[in-house]
Structure 1
Amino acid sequence: MKNRLLLIVLLLAVSAPFAIAQERSNVSFGILGGINFQNLNGELPNGDKLENDMLLGYHVGVNVQIPIAPEFYFQPGLMYSIKGAKNTYTALGSEFTDEIKINYLEVPLNLVYKAPLGSGFFMLGFGPYVAYGISGKQVFEGNSLTLERGVDYKDFDAGANIFAGYETAGGLFLQLDTQFGMLNIIPDDSSDDQSTAKNTGFGLSLGYRF
């Protein structure tokens, strides 16, 4: 029940600005998608840092851009994003991979500055995000063997977004995104309760605003 309530709150948080936007002028909507390069950073119980490789994932979503001052906009959105980490190592002459993938519904709440540049606009945005993990899995592959199991991480995550990009006069835009997770997603009742793991990463988004 608690998890469902959190999901409902996330959906309401992003649907309210969309509803308000429909009643205001000079408001635009955007669709976007792209690739993620994600990692889980943190510490082991002995104090050593987690050593993972970047996981290649993707994200898709929508947002609404609401003017609040000249050249400044409030930009809430709703995203589906794949995060996690990957490890590759060699043992007994064979190569093995261990991937953790967590699927999130994410609500970014960004403040965006847009300055005219050429025939389009330079964009710089930043703000918090909240996210809810809807599913996840760990996949181990190697030596003609594939094993898959569920993952045990906290459902709720939050952190900060920073992005920069360019939007053409026709509405097509490209942006580089960076995220810093601020919450430890290791469960409090885990046997690894002295460990920490936080979502971090960057990505590239292509979108269209109309």
Structure 2
Amino acid sequence: MKPLIMIVAACSLSMATMAQQSKVFIKGGLNLANISNSSDGDVDDAKTLASWHVGVMADLPIGQFFAIQPGLLFTGKGSKIQNGNSSDNNYYKATTNPMYIELPVNAVFKIPLETNSQLFVGAGPYIAMGVAGKRKIEGKILGVEYSRKDNIEFSNDDPTTLNEEEGVGLGIMRRFDAGLNATAGLIINKFLVQVNYGHGLTKLQSGADNGEDNKNKHRVLSLSVGIGL
């Protein structure tokens, strides 16, 4: 009986220690968003769109060198297209900036540096749901300016119906996104600095037969700073 009690006590002490070491951060920062334009996932750097993100991230230790980092973010993605400059007589610029609620879950390897300081690297999946966003077009034709701004329309696709896509249409964006993250960062006491790359795996445009659009997927490089609660 005593060995069993000792094992239970050791497990309880270990869980209590990990709970004390767990942290929750409020974080936010810059997104450099783009959209792949080939089946190989290539992107055009000139189309990178600056956006932002804000949310929370937990750091849940599993032993001394590993942790799980789930999060909940409000984050911007998208891309831009531009021909010419605003000072030209003929000029065109279009930006698409959808906003998502995103749930990433990363598994990380941690390297202790000093007291209460760790470097971490890791990866994991994410899922996201589109909730808002804008499409903006502006330009000039023979010196005459024009502009237009519309709300992004998302499909009402049910993610549980894998072979069907409800609410499809020309110009409608799929509501659900999913992909993989690669992440690295530094935790110093209550402060967090992090870089993350999100590699989308789902196509952006709605419709089952738009094979050309299957090439277009989100790519987002994020730079974050955070503070522990």
Q: TM-score range by the shorter chain?
A: 0.7 to 0.9
Pick from 114, 119, 131: which aligns with 1:134? 131
Equivalent residue for 1:15?
A: none
- Residues 146-161 of structure 1 mapped to structure 2, 5 A cutoff: 146-151=147-152, 152-161=172-181
For the structure 1 residues 188 and 50, does the alpha-carbon distance in structure 2 shift closer, same or farther, using more than 3 Å as the test?
A: farther
Deviates more, 1:129-138 or 1:119-128: 119-128
Tell me how far apart the structure 1 counterparts of residues 90 and 114 of structure 2 sit (CA, whole Å).
53
- The amino acid that maps onto 1:94 is N
Q: What are structure 1's unaligned runs of at least 5 residues?
A: 1-23
Aligned-pair Cα RMSD in Å: 2.6
Match of 2:53 among 54, 59, 74: 59
Identity of aligned residues (%): 28
User: Equivalents in 2 of 1:202, 1:114: separation in Å?
Assistant: 21
What is the alpha-carbon distance in structure 2 between the residues aligned to residue 138 and residue 90 of structure 1? 19
Query: In terms of Rg, which structure is larger?
Result: 2
Q: If the length of structure 2 is used for normalisation, what is the TM-score?
A: 0.72
Give unpaired runs (5+ residues) of structure 2. Answer: 1-18, 153-171
DSSP-derived class of the 1:194 partner: helix
Secondary structure in structure 2 of the residue aligned to 1:107:
strand
The letter of the residue matching 1:79 is: L
Give the deviation of 1:194 after TM superposition.
3.3
Instruction: In structure 2, give the amino acid aligned to 1:166.
Output: L
The count of residues paired between Structure 1 and Structure 2 equals: 184
TM-score (norm 1): 0.78
Residue identity matched to 2:213: S
* 1:127-156 residue CA offsets vs partner (Å, 9 max, x unmatched): 000000012321001233220124311000
CA shift for structure 1 position 74: 1.1
SS of 2:205's partner is coil
